[in-house]
């Protein structure tokens, strides 16, 4: 079993900063992989990787990687990819490190927030992110867009899968109210309605951000969004 190091990529000012963990509560983390297996998240990861069109040798940053299941899906599909998982949750990263060690795959892991990414300007081929942006507040999402635009090389792509939809819900315009919202959405996932992921990428300077696939999942509407630098 290989030992995988976790790099602390947090700025001094980010130490102790709050974040919303994968299952909403830190103590539920040990159940995360079990829950996502039950929820069939693996199929979403595999479809996202398929749409991402990553090539061997390309560098890939998985933002909000949690226990790194999307990173592992990238590595299963493109074993030659150079993948780094990035997440503020040290506990989730330790689980990711143990899994990578057991599987003997090459995975780098960085502890940090979506609005402060470590790579140099224009140095990354692909950013992927799964079910993470709805955990990030408005300022953090704006920061993520800015950082994604900064670190991607020209022609590099960002592919994001998360709860979300182009509209506000069946029959819903403006503010949502009970009965007029998408099934399964909550205060956090509603951040992604009304094309919000497309908008945050467009605001950051991506000119072709768009939803490339919509999936009606049993836990709510899922959007896959892609943009090219």
**Where along the sequence are the contacts to ligand SAM (CB under 6 A)?**
19-22, 36, 41, 63-66, 69-70, 87-89, 92, 113-114, 130-132, 135-136, 140
Q: Tally Cβ neighbours within 10 Å of residue 211.
A: 16
65 vs 152 by CB, closer to ligand SAM: 65
Nearest distance from residue 45's CB to ligand SAM, in Å? 6
Nearest distance from residue 21's CB to ligand SAM, in Å? 5
Residue whose beta carbon is closest to ligand SAM:
66
70 vs 204 by CB, closer to ligand SAM: 70
139 vs 171 by CB, closer to ligand SAM: 139
Nearest distance from residue 39's CB to ligand SAM, in Å? 10
Nearest distance from residue 175's CB to ligand SAM, in Å? 25
39 vs 212 by CB, closer to ligand SAM: 39
Which residues are within 8 A (CB) of 165 and not within 5 positions of it... i.e. 6 or more apart?
182, 192, 193, 194, 214, 221, 223
Nearest distance from residue 77's CB to ligand SAM, in Å? 15
Residue found by looking up tokens 């947090």 in the block = 10
Nearest distance from residue 99's CB to ligand SAM, in Å? 12
């Amino acid at each position: 079993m290989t030992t995988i190091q976790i790099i602390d990529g947090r700025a001094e000012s980010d130490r102790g900063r709050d974040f919303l963990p994968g299952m909403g509560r830190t103590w539920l983390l040990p159940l995360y992989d079990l829950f996502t297996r039950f929820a069939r998240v693996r199929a979403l990861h595999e479809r996202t990787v398929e749409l991402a069109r990553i090539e061997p040798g390309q560098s890939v940053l998985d933002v909000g990687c949690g226990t790194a299941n999307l990173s592992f899906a990238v590595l299963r599909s493109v074993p030659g990819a150079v993948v780094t998982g990035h997440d503020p949750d040290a506990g989730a990263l330790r689980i990711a490190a143990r899994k990578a060690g057991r599987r003997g795959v090459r995975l780098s892991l960085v502890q940090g927030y979506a609005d402060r990414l470590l790579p140099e300007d224009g140095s990354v081929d692909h950013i992927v992110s799964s079910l993470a942006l709805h955990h990030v507040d408005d300022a953090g999402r704006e920061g993520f867009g800015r950082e994604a635009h900064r670190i991607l090389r020209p022609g590099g792509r960002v592919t994001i899968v998360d709860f979300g939809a182009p509209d506000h819900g069946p029959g819903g315009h403006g503010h949502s109210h009970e009965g007029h919202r998408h099934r399964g959405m909550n205060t956090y996932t509603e951040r992604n309605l009304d094309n919000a992921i497309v908008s945050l990428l467009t605001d950051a300077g991506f000119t072709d951000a768009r939803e490339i696939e919509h999936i009606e999942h049993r836990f709510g509407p899922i959007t896959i969004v892609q943009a090219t630098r």
